[in-house]
Chains A and B, each alone.
Chain A
Amino acid sequence: MTPEERFDALIGEDLKIEPRDPMPDAYRATMIRQIAQHAHSEVIGMQPEGNWITRAPSLKRKAILIAKVQDEAGHGLYLYSAAETLGVSRAELVDLLHEGRQKYSSIFNYPTLTWADIGAIGWLVDGAAITNQVMLTRTSYGPYSRAMIRICKEESFHQRQGYEIMRVLSEGTDAQRAMAQDALDRWWWPSLMMFGPPDAESTHTVQSMAWKIKLETNDQLRQRFIDATVPQAEYLGLKVPDPDLAWNTETGHYDVGPIDWDEFWSVVKGDGPCNKERSAHKVGVWEEHAWVREAAAAHAAKARTAAASA
């Protein structure tokens, strides 16, 4: 059996591809790109939420938010670890992010203006991420699939704590209720955009599905998220900001109005509200704390020398 036939046979039988298996260059490149961008998203995603740690409304909420942000750091590390099994180093990937040559999810280029945004991010942004990530637990590349299983277990807490924040606000004063509605108004459409362009315009979907990297299309996943989320908004007594939203008895799904894909592409290309701030902060912190990495390496080298001469 040639390496090509072996790879195709494994994919055909729904078996996982593992790090040292032969794989097409394009499969390897696609996996590196996808896992790296996923890892970068987890890491950059700490910024909008970290913004509210010092101003969380109670010690309980602060402890929860710290734990959540720490999880995001962990998720980034699981994913870099998975990417490294493909023969690329984490340092290279981090450099690509810092140089702007690899992207992260555009959702993190929106600002967190109020405490309700922390609720909306958990409920909607993590909710959308989970919809995608549950599919990815079955992706064809073993290390990515395993990272997704671990991440999905932890993300469930993220979404539930976000929904709880929204519930408490929506049961609160008029001002709190307005704050929750405003957060939903601002995060609803960007959350729907997280699934990527419509299937007709998605350049990677066909090949990714042939390789079983993706098992469902952007539009299928987006619809699943909408169908699950609209009733959750209704429970809160909040209004989804879409005048065309309607239950379609024929399809058994919600119909939604048009998504502003010009906005999506504008944010992807760097013109979102916070693109520059997010990148500058990431690079700044990396450089500012270079001394920590250098000191740890120097300490380890010194300890090795001492052990060798002892």
Chain B
Amino acid sequence: MSYDVPRTDDEVDPTLAGTEGSPLWEVFIRADRGLNHVHVGSLHAPDAATALHHARDVYTRRKEGVSIWVVPSSAITATDPHDATDWFGSEHPYRHPTFYEIPEEVGHM
């Protein structure tokens, strides 16, 4: 049993592949004013303007958003899950408020 991503030499990276002139875009939606744009999925479109229209039709049929971003999937640089421990592993409990003991008499802080 191999755990490697199965990809042959002549196979293009699917996140970079223009499938029939229609590359992959990642879609981010702001659900309402005051909230961040959040990743909701991806879609294929020949260009950014079409990607926005498709994103509206595919991901906001029920007023799920007030703003959409589309980003070419190939433009995203990501951390490697293999390195997750190195990247996110170190503990710094003293960065959290619960690390510190405050006497009850002092009250809420």
Which residues of A line the B interface, CB within 8 A? 3-4, 7, 18, 20-26, 28, 67, 70-71, 74, 77-78, 81-82, 84, 87-91, 146-147, 154, 293-294, 296-301, 303-304
Contact = CB atoms under 8 A, between A and B. Distances in A.
Nearest to A91: B19
Interface string B1-40: 1111111000000110101111010000000000000000
B3 A297 contact: no
A7 B14 contact: no
B10 to A, nearest CB: 14
Given A87-B7, A89-B19, A297-B22, 18 more contacts: A4-B1, A20-B80, A22-B82, A25-B1, A67-B61, A70-B57, A74-B59, A78-B41, A81-B43, A84-B14, A84-B15, A84-B24, A87-B6, A90-B44, A146-B41, A296-B47, A297-B46, A299-B46
Contacts of B1: 4, 24-26
B3 A24 contact: yes
B81 interface: yes
B61 A74 contact: yes
Contacts of B61: 67, 70-71, 74, 154
Name the 9 nearest CB pairs between A and B, nearest first: A297-B21, A300-B46, A300-B47, A91-B19, A3-B3, A22-B3, A296-B46, A81-B42, A81-B41
Contacts of B4: 22
Given A81-B43, A297-B21, A300-B46, A74 B14 contact: no
A307 to B, nearest CB: 10
Contacts, number: 82
Interface residues of B, number: 32
Interface of B: 1-7, 14-15, 17, 19-22, 24, 41-47, 50, 57-59, 61-62, 78, 80-82
A23 B3 contact: yes
A90 B5 CA distance: 17
Contacts of A28: 6
A187 to B, nearest CB: 26
